[in-house]
């Protein structure tokens, strides 16, 4: 699911969002949401290598103050933020799904070296597309919660799900990285590689940043990895 660039940008890249919308539409709606909330922000168009675009998220922080929206070749817009434990994309993806009336999701796949690994898929959608009245469609998670594995699912399963796997004896085997990859493929989502996020060697992106939470500690990517 991840290229060398994406692997390098762990923990930012281990937890990402996707919204089924073009880049310009998604970024414009996010800016409008900030404006409607009366929040101060800066919006900057970016082009360059995938690594260069992701580098604009530094420094990392306990509270995400930078949001990076990247165009993809499969028609969805990818989302990353500067959280030092991951992008934590739930809120922006949930809000964009409702505002644009499209599917959005959160996907998490921790690296094998993670102290508390997790595999998570959350899908948000409109009621006409299978979401509930709040905008939730499906949630599946297998996670090491402080040393003890847990498994959770809610919402109606998609037709492509490997439901029998949810009965595996070990909870960690009920939803694996390979299963997450397969589910995303069935939704028309390619692996997040350099080829799909920077076709022809150049990515196209918008960076939305806020000047708040300046009192919080800041970390380089290397420092976040060490934590």
Q: How far is CA 3 from the centre of its chain?
A: 15
Domain regions of the chain by residue span = 4-212
What's residue 1's pLDDT?
A: 44
**Exposure letters 107-139 (e unless 16+ CB within 10 A, then b):** bbbbeeeeeebbbbbbbbbbeeeebeeeebbbe
pLDDT at 2 exceeding the cut of 60: no
Average pLDDT over residues 126-137: 95
Q: Average per-residue pLDDT in the chain?
A: 94
Dump pLDDT digits (tens) for 69-116: 999 999 999 999 999 999 999 999 999 999 999 999 999 998 877 888
Terminal CA-CA length for the chain: 24
pLDDT band at 191 (very low <50, low <70, confident <90, very high): confident
Contacts 24+ apart (CB under 8 A), 145-152: 145/116, 146/116, 147/116, 151/175
The token pair at 197 is 């996020």
Q: How many residues in total does the chain contain?
A: 227
- The pTM (predicted TM-score) of the whole model is 0.94
Cβ 90 vs Cβ 26: under 8 Å: no
Average pLDDT over residues 42-58: 96
- DSSP reduced 3-state for 87: coil
* The dihedral sign for the CA sequence 173, 179, 183, 189: positive
Average pLDDT over residues 13-41: 97
Cβ 48 vs Cβ 105: under 8 Å: no
What's residue 127's pLDDT?
A: 94
Q: Please state, for a pLDDT cut of 90, what percent of the chain lies above it.
A: 85
Please name the residue that has the structure tokens 């919006």.
43
Q: Please state, for a pLDDT cut of 70, what percent of the chain lies above it.
A: 99
**Measured distance CA(157)–CA(201) in Å, rounded:** 37
Dump pLDDT digits (tens) for 193-219: 889 999 888 999 999 999 888 788 999
**Measured distance CA(115)–CA(144) in Å, rounded:** 8
The token pair at 151 is 């498994």
Tell me the angle at which helices 90-100 and 23-36 cross, rounded to the nearest 10 degrees: 100
pLDDT at 41 exceeding the cut of 50: yes
């Amino acid at each position: 699911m991840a290229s060398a660039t994406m692997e390098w940008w762990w923990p930012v890249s281990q937890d990402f969002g996707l919204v089924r919308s073009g880049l310009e539409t998604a970024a414009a709606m996010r800016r409008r949401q900030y404006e409607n909330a009366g929040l101060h922000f800066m919006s900057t168009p970016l082009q360059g290598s995938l690594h260069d675009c992701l580098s604009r998220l530094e420094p990392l922080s306990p509270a995400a103050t930078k949001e990076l929206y990247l165009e993809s070749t499969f028609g969805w817009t990818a989302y990353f933020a500067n959280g030092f434990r991951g992008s934590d994309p739930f809120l922006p993806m949930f809000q964009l799904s409702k505002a644009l009336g499209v599917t959005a999701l959160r996907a998490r796949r921790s690296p094998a070296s993670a102290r508390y690994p997790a595999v998570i898929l959350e899908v948000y959608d409109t009621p006409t597309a299978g979401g509930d009245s709040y905008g939730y469609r499906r949630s599946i998670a297998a996670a090491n919660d402080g040393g003890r594995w847990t498994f959770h699912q809610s919402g109606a399963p998609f037709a492509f799900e490997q439901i029998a796997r949810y009965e595996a004896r070990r909870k960690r085997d009920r939803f694996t990285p390979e299963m997450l990859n397969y589910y995303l493929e069935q939704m028309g989502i390619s692996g997040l590689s350099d080829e799909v996020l920077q076709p022809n060697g150049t990515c196209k992106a918008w960076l939305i940043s806020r000047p708040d939470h300046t009192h919080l500690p800041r970390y380089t990517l290397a420092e976040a990895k060490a934590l």
